[in-house]
Structure 1
Amino acid sequence: MNSLALGLRLVVRGPRATQLRFLLMTLGCALGVACLAAALSIPAILAAHDGRAAGRDVQGGPSSGALFLERKDPFGSRPLTRIFISPPKTGSVPLPPGVERVPQPGEVVVSPALRDLLAERPGLKGALPGRVVDTIGPAGLTGPQELYAYVGRTRAQLPADEARPLGGYGNRWTAPDEAAIDDGTVAPLRFTLCCLVLLPLFVYLSVCVRLSAEARSRRLASLRLLGLSARDTMRVSAVETLCAAAVGAVLGVGLHLLVNAFVAQTGWVGLAWYPADGLPSAWTLAACLLGCPALAYLAGRRHAREAALRPLAVRRQAQPGKPRRWLAALLVLPGLGIVTAYCVLGVLGVHVEPSALTSFLVPAGALLTGAGLVLALPPVTAWLAARVAATTQRLPLTLAMRHHEAAPGAALRVVSGLVLLVYAASLTQGVLVELDQVSRRTAPNQEYEVPFRQVTAEQRGAMVKADGISGRAVTAEVVSRDGDILFATCSELEKLARPGTVRGCVDGRPLALHDPFAHTEDTKQPGTTHLVKLRNEAGQAAGSARFTVPEETVTFAAVQPSALSSALLLVPPNTLPPGVHPAHARLVLSGAPEPEAVQATLDRLAGIAPTAQIDPVGIVIESLRQLSIVKGLLGTGMILGLVIGVAAFLVSATDRAMDRRRRTATLTLLGIRTRTLRAAQCAQVLLPLAVGIGGALVAGRLAESSYLVTGGGAVFWDGEGLPLLLLSGLGVLAVAGLASLPMARRHLDPELLRRD
């Protein structure tokens, strides 16, 4: 019988323990490969999103004879894109992607999500004049939840100064405006996902393929002593490992396909995609179906090689060699050196600009520190265990420390996944802090502008009273275009301006406005007269009004950017007759500046006036969408990392308990109480875990701070997230301690005490 057939027979016809171990190895590899496939599919999903956005980008040109006009408006916190097309009387028009025919005047082609929204909100049809005749296919949409429409119009219905000739669709040279994530965010996102998913996944797969390593090594040593050659012994070990890894890889890819089909269109990560976008690419399949077995082979080769070359030492359980300190130092010292150097620059107040060098050094330092942190656990904890065992007088602690001193590498598999999880959580927190300060407004409020002509008086009243709206005013553009006139009371001005900056305001009369922080020159111009055209609620002309800039001046500081920056005159609202407003008036509202509050306010305002153009001053809706996508992807990475870390701990802890059954039975036979054994087992798990989590917190904070220092933001040190990380570390210690208690049992199995 050759070695391959022997290995297959041992797997298929072996004892029940061997078959159970093979099943656990297979399921463990399946879970790990599913997480790996999910992480590797994220770039493909983003690339498919951006590719379809670039393929439908409207290009100007005189070739078709058609005209087009593009409008992008926020519908709540979601962008609504409308492409108005005026086809020529004769000739063909280029077809947009996903559209079977170009809509004629009076016809509309909408996306499925917009079609459903029209059924819920009939008032939105005012923004889409015409009859819905078809829906856009997946080829013309970035995702199933996108709001997109093509509207057919005549040439007379399109503004002559804005309509452009339609040349075709597709932009191959520049990035699309609807890119899922901009280029500056892709690099830190990839780096964070690698730390969150790939590092714990490597540890987890190594744990899965080394289940019952001690028992398997003893079995291989027995085969070697029975006359099997060293090469055949290695092949027998490789058969079981590769079979489990290969079957687990296939199951993992299938599990990823099922989860992708279920999650794709939910949009729970901030981005909805088509299931076909998440299908694994050739490189992803190669990494899963070939990389996982290769990793399994390399992980199991060490113990198989030791059993093949030193079978007597394995059977007699000889003392293992000491951990290699030089390998841990080789990784820890450069990594900590890089991140510490940037932290020192931050302490000294040196502002490090983002560059290609920092984009390489900071991720490299963080990855080296994380890998070195895991490899440094065996030598550090072995040294600490020897010191504790030499000074303690308690039997449980002595048993735990002496056993850990003898085999420090065994505990590494138990705690390494949780240690990396805590380390990656700190890095993720730094990325979120950096993204938050880049996207967050530093002003105390957020302003919204709504054109008066697009909303009725009832809608304006409902907007002013909507939840989250704290201030209001009306601005009107003067004919001379020198600035705007602000119709508001002093209290309304104080709610829109920066707190405590309004000086000299008196209600009941017009006053000049001056912002000394935004304009160094004098903009008051007393005696200047401005003419404002008026309209009634029906949109008809209602005469005009003249306002003269007085000597009395109100100084204030507007938030930046602000709709009040160009205001030069403050006029009481009751100056105009009831039901009359300036011709080019805009309603200005203010609310809280937090991104969540901005999204909620936009949704409320859009619910009141679906067809109105609501402009959040200084904020691009695409930025809000990208921020939600990044947070969703990082949250997904955290969930995957948590699943991998907990699974690695449970698998390795259970496997280690199975390996220690013989030693536990021997100690029980010698009279050691079960309570003592459980205390020793708990201490043996908590010592390396406490040391690892402590090191992960310190190293993670250094890596996080180095990222913040080089990120270009104003925040160098994140103190708000430290209590959460400390509580998380204590929670991990508590769960690990409780999980280790049932591992010691009083039941004695005679088979465990038999001497071979």
Structure 2
Amino acid sequence: MSKLQVWARDLAMGTRFAFAGGREGWTRTLLTGIGVGLGVALLLVSTALPSALAARDARGDARSTLSAPTADAAGRDTLLIARASQTYHATDVDGIFVRAEGPDAPVPPGLKEIPGPGELAVSPALHTLLKSADGKLLRERLDGKITQTIGDAGLVGPGELYFYAGTDWLHKADVDEYSRVQRITGFANTFEAEPLRPDLMLLVVLTFVALLMPVAVFIAAAVRFGGERRDRRLAALRLIGADSRMVRRIAAGEALAGSVIGLVLGAGFFAVSRQLVGQVSLQQRSVFPADLDPAPWLAALVAVAVPAAAVAVTLLALRGVVIEPLGVVRTAKQRRRRIWWRLLMPLAGLGLLAPLMGRGNDQGAFNQWQVSGGVVLLLVGITALLPWLLERLVGGISGGPVSWQLAVRRLQISSGTAARLVNGIAVAVAGAIALQMLFAGTEDTYTQDTGQDPSRASLSVMTHSGSGPVDIDSLGKKLGQTRGITRAVPLTEVNGAAKVPEMDRRIEITIGTCDSLREVAVLDSCNEGDAFILTGADPGVSGPYGATAAPGQQIFAGNVMGLEHFKKAVPWTVPANARTVPSRKDPAGQLRTGLLVTPSVAPKGIDPFEAFAQVFVQLDDSVPDALDRARTAAFKAAPMATAMTLTSQQPAPRFSSIRTGLFFGAAGVLVLIGASLLVSQLEQLRERKKLLSALVAFGTKRSTLSLSVLWQTALPITLGMVLATAVGLALGSVLMRMTAVPVRIDWSSVLAMTGTGAGVVVLVTLLSVPPLLRLMRPDGLRTE
């Protein structure tokens, strides 16, 4: 018989043992399959993420107007659009105002026709929100008639809140390049995103590595379910004539069978989760089920790698077990685990990462394979060190209550099994701590100080020149009368210049009451009819503004750039009593230049399209939904206005996206951790069914046995969390040195990560108590 035939025969025998070994055999195979299947499902989701993100980007580009074809004048195929994005209950509600200028105007993706005046086309998620009780205030804001539902082709995700609002008031001057209104003849976006900076790419790579490593550890642990029973069965095979190589091949066949079942179950879990994913939205990110499509070569890689890893892990585990005809020599004289080779992996990982320290963003991208290899070796080092540490810890423990002694003795006999149960969660916690440290270290780099002062105003409502006439006084009055608004400070701005046309040396003219002007200047006194010349602005400010005028000087106000289709600029004389006053940063952080004037001496006859306003709104936090009421009032008074919540700091969008991705991945890994740990715990209890029943039959209290199971979990998890914290801090420090940021530890985040990991294990232990109580019945001693 050839070697290939021998392997095939033995692997087939192992497969038969897995499926035809009675209830014990198929129960162990099923548990192995479930454990492997959970890991495979998450691996398939990970391989499908690139295609899902690419599909989101493609649909976003298809409806985008960033590089859409435009027209200079109205025609049969032109469409006027303007951004109408909103915020409701701290949730983004994106939208666009549309007005068709001809019968052949382009229809946005996902729509059958362009909404007419007063009509709305909304996404399914927005439609649901508007019909719900929670959407009452939003219904007041978006009060058009819903005539269409946006199809999937026009949305980046099923949970997206998006709308198109038809209007008859959109206007665009043919040469007004500064207007927020665009005249397009189609939808497209051909701009390529800038490549990620090296430290952001490092964050992406580390996120994938840190999230997938626990999955691999759990799969490796799952294929060793029922190891003790399997070894006793293999010893029986030795008794009837099988040699050591044959029993190892049979064991490989069993592992192969379990992993194949895991692949099938994993594909099933993935199919179910794929159908459910459309109903899940995390931080306003969602994907269509059809987009979650793994690349064929990645799916094939998973299909090959998982069974191969299962066989390799099984053969490696059997090296530490001498299977003899009369039994399994496992614990008679257990050799103490050696430490030297266990230290090689973390040291090798540090060796790979050390040359990259101090590079930051100045020396190009990090070598992704070198970084990934170093991080993997450090994290895998946890799985190698934990069994050795646990053996040393429990080896010297003696005495204590009965439950404690039972737990310690069990750990002394089989500390490796307990370590495998904790390895996955320890790796996940270590990776999370390292990532959290790196995020905290680079957060300052990607979080800009806006200069805004939320204590002076909660909201800034801005209209824009060229967007259409706005009754600025009415806007300020409506906002001031809205419930939940304690103060509204309106300011009007127009352009001024010493000559016309003028593009570069423009004078900023701010019009407002004395109360309003005090928000932008330091005024010792102010009365109606006063005017002021601002000083003290930052001399380094670039842009067209910065010019000023003297008291009594004649200048022009309004359309100083000489744009066609607008009224000409009007001459205006700066009041002779204008006083010089220093500028003061407004609540939005801007330091103004130019002139301040009260309404009675302000320029008259300016084209309304050339004036724009800013209203600073202070809210009463005690009034429910005050912010949304203010936004609704602003939208009703000036639909084209921008209502911006003032905040002192704002993270960069790409940094926020990567953090959102980490949140997605961490949620999936956490679910896997909990489910896999529960399956592992149930398998361990099943292995000890007869032992537990025997102890109960001899009079051991059930509470004592329950406590012993708790101690068996508490000891390894405590040691695992200590080791994970140490490795996580070390890895995080190295990564921060690599990105050239100061090493600092956010202990609150470290404690949160370790507490979450420990909490998952405690929850799983509590969930395993009911089946434990059922297993402790004396009738569990029955045998067949």
Q: Which category describes the TM-score, using the shorter chain as reference length?
A: 0.7 to 0.9
Deviation digits for residues 479-531 of structure 1 (CA, Å, limit 9, x no counterpart): 2163323344666566x56xxxx645433243332345565999765425555
SS of the residue corresponding to residue 21 of structure 2 reads coil
- Give the equivalent residue in structure 1 for 2:49: 42
Give distance in 2, aligned partners of 1:359 and 1:600. 45
Residue 638 in structure 1 maps to residue 666 in structure 2: yes
Alignment-mate amino acid for residue 159 of structure 1: D
Give distance in 2, aligned partners of 1:159 and 1:507. 41
Q: Decide whether aligned partners of structure 1 residues 543 and 165 sit closer, same or farther in structure 2, where only a CA change above 3 A counts.
A: closer
CA contact (8 A) 2:461 2:634 kept: no
Residue 721 in structure 1 maps to residue 734 in structure 2: no
CA contact (8 A) 2:533 2:596 kept: yes
- Give the equivalent residue in structure 1 for 2:502: none
Deviation, 1:219, is 0.9
CA contact (8 A) 2:533 2:581 kept: yes
Residue 486 in structure 1 maps to residue 524 in structure 2: no
Residue 419 in structure 1 maps to residue 426 in structure 2: yes
Deviation, 1:553, is 3.7
Deviation digits for residues 663-718 of structure 1 (CA, Å, limit 9, x no counterpart): 66788899987776666554443333212212222332444455556557799543
- Give the equivalent residue in structure 2 for 1:570: 596
Q: Number of aligned pairs? A: 718
Q: Decide whether aligned partners of structure 1 residues 399 and 618 sit closer, same or farther in structure 2, where only a CA change above 3 A counts.
A: closer
SS of the residue corresponding to residue 156 of structure 2 reads coil
CA contact (8 A) 2:198 2:361 kept: no
Deviation, 1:750, is 8.9
Give distance in 2, aligned partners of 1:65 and 1:514. 51
Give distance in 1, aligned partners of 2:43 and 2:439. 23
Q: 2:417 aligns with which of 410, 426, 430?
A: 410
CA contact (8 A) 2:470 2:638 kept: no
Give distance in 2, aligned partners of 1:680 and 1:156. 76
Give the TM-score normalised by the residue count of structure 1: 0.75
Deviation, 1:474, is 0.8
Residue 475 in structure 1 maps to residue 492 in structure 2: yes
- Give the equivalent residue in structure 2 for 1:253: 267
- Give the equivalent residue in structure 1 for 2:27: 20
CA contact (8 A) 2:84 2:639 kept: no
- Give the equivalent residue in structure 1 for 2:389: 380
**Identical pairs, percent:** 23
SS of the residue corresponding to residue 567 of structure 1 reads coil
Give distance in 1, aligned partners of 2:223 and 2:21. 18
Give the TM-score normalised by the residue count of structure 2: 0.73
Give distance in 2, aligned partners of 1:327 and 1:134. 66
Q: Decide whether aligned partners of structure 1 residues 602 and 79 sit closer, same or farther in structure 2, where only a CA change above 3 A counts.
A: farther
Deviation, 1:146, is 6.2
- Give the equivalent residue in structure 1 for 2:192: 175
Give distance in 2, aligned partners of 1:154 and 1:614. 17
SS of the residue corresponding to residue 640 of structure 2 reads coil
Give distance in 2, aligned partners of 1:610 and 1:184. 42
Alignment-mate amino acid for residue 644 of structure 1: L
Give distance in 2, aligned partners of 1:222 and 1:334. 41
CA contact (8 A) 2:634 2:643 kept: no
Deviation, 1:286, is 2.0
Deviation digits for residues 715-753 of structure 1 (CA, Å, limit 9, x no counterpart): 954355345346446645755776788869876679699
CA contact (8 A) 2:278 2:289 kept: yes
Q: Decide whether aligned partners of structure 1 residues 459 and 488 sit closer, same or farther in structure 2, where only a CA change above 3 A counts.
A: closer
Deviation digits for residues 89-119 of structure 1 (CA, Å, limit 9, x no counterpart): xxx9999766779x79999996755995999
Give distance in 2, aligned partners of 1:463 and 1:624. 30
Q: Decide whether aligned partners of structure 1 residues 375 and 549 sit closer, same or farther in structure 2, where only a CA change above 3 A counts.
A: farther
5 Å matches for 1:244-393?
Answer: 244-264=258-278, 266-303=280-317, 314=328, 317-335=331-349, 355-357=364-366, 365-388=374-397
CA contact (8 A) 1:705 1:718 kept: no
Give distance in 1, aligned partners of 2:473 and 2:391. 76
Alignment-mate amino acid for residue 634 of structure 1: L
Give distance in 2, aligned partners of 1:514 and 1:420. 59
Q: Decide whether aligned partners of structure 1 residues 215 and 591 sit closer, same or farther in structure 2, where only a CA change above 3 A counts.
A: farther
Alignment-mate amino acid for residue 395 of structure 2: A
Q: Decide whether aligned partners of structure 1 residues 327 and 579 sit closer, same or farther in structure 2, where only a CA change above 3 A counts.
A: farther
5 Å matches for 1:41-120?
Answer: 41-55=48-62, 58-60=67-69, 71-76=82-87, 77-81=92-96, 112=123, 116=127
Deviation digits for residues 243-274 of structure 1 (CA, Å, limit 9, x no counterpart): 33223322322332333333325534422333
Alignment-mate amino acid for residue 639 of structure 2: T
CA contact (8 A) 1:34 1:255 kept: yes
Deviation digits for residues 433-461 of structure 1 (CA, Å, limit 9, x no counterpart): 44586245443337442248346755543
Deviation, 1:192, is 1.6
Q: 1:220 aligns with which of 234, 252, 258?
A: 234
Give distance in 2, aligned partners of 1:591 and 1:364. 53
- Give the equivalent residue in structure 2 for 1:241: 255
CA contact (8 A) 1:504 1:553 kept: no
SS of the residue corresponding to residue 395 of structure 2 reads helix
CA contact (8 A) 2:14 2:249 kept: yes
Residue 612 in structure 1 maps to residue 629 in structure 2: no
CA contact (8 A) 1:21 1:211 kept: yes
Deviation digits for residues 32-58 of structure 1 (CA, Å, limit 9, x no counterpart): 222222233222111111223345665
Deviation digits for residues 337-356 of structure 1 (CA, Å, limit 9, x no counterpart): 7889999x7xxxx9875842
CA RMSD of aligned residues (A): 5.5
Alignment-mate amino acid for residue 593 of structure 2: A
- Give the equivalent residue in structure 1 for 2:677: 649
Q: Decide whether aligned partners of structure 1 residues 676 and 260 sit closer, same or farther in structure 2, where only a CA change above 3 A counts.
A: closer
5 Å matches for 1:156-235?
Answer: 159-160=174-175, 162=177, 174-175=191-192, 188-196=203-211, 198-230=212-244, 232-235=246-249
- Give the equivalent residue in structure 1 for 2:446: 438
CA contact (8 A) 2:736 2:743 kept: yes
CA contact (8 A) 2:10 2:246 kept: yes
- Give the equivalent residue in structure 1 for 2:622: none
Give distance in 1, aligned partners of 2:69 and 2:438. 39
Deviation, 1:205, is 1.5
Structure 1: 5+ residue stretches without partners: none
Q: Decide whether aligned partners of structure 1 residues 59 and 393 sit closer, same or farther in structure 2, where only a CA change above 3 A counts.
A: closer
CA contact (8 A) 1:67 1:155 kept: no
Give distance in 1, aligned partners of 2:460 and 2:741. 24
Q: 2:40 aligns with which of 23, 33, 36?
A: 33
Give distance in 2, aligned partners of 1:741 and 1:289. 35
Alignment-mate amino acid for residue 510 of structure 1: A
Which segment drifts farther, 663-672 or 368-377?
663-672
CA contact (8 A) 1:67 1:86 kept: yes
SS of the residue corresponding to residue 285 of structure 2 reads coil
Structure 2: 5+ residue stretches without partners: 1-7, 132-137, 498-504, 560-565, 620-624
Q: Decide whether aligned partners of structure 1 residues 257 and 457 sit closer, same or farther in structure 2, where only a CA change above 3 A counts.
A: farther
SS of the residue corresponding to residue 356 of structure 1 reads coil
Residue 589 in structure 1 maps to residue 604 in structure 2: no
Q: 1:453 aligns with which of 436, 450, 469?
A: 469
- Give the equivalent residue in structure 2 for 1:512: 533
Give distance in 2, aligned partners of 1:559 and 1:154. 32
Give distance in 2, aligned partners of 1:19 and 1:505. 88
Give distance in 2, aligned partners of 1:114 and 1:733. 36
Q: Decide whether aligned partners of structure 1 residues 291 and 85 sit closer, same or farther in structure 2, where only a CA change above 3 A counts.
A: farther
Deviation, 1:314, is 2.0
Deviation digits for residues 374-401 of structure 1 (CA, Å, limit 9, x no counterpart): 3211122322333445xx7777666655
Q: Decide whether aligned partners of structure 1 residues 600 and 14 sit closer, same or farther in structure 2, where only a CA change above 3 A counts.
A: farther
CA contact (8 A) 1:342 1:710 kept: yes
CA contact (8 A) 2:511 2:599 kept: yes
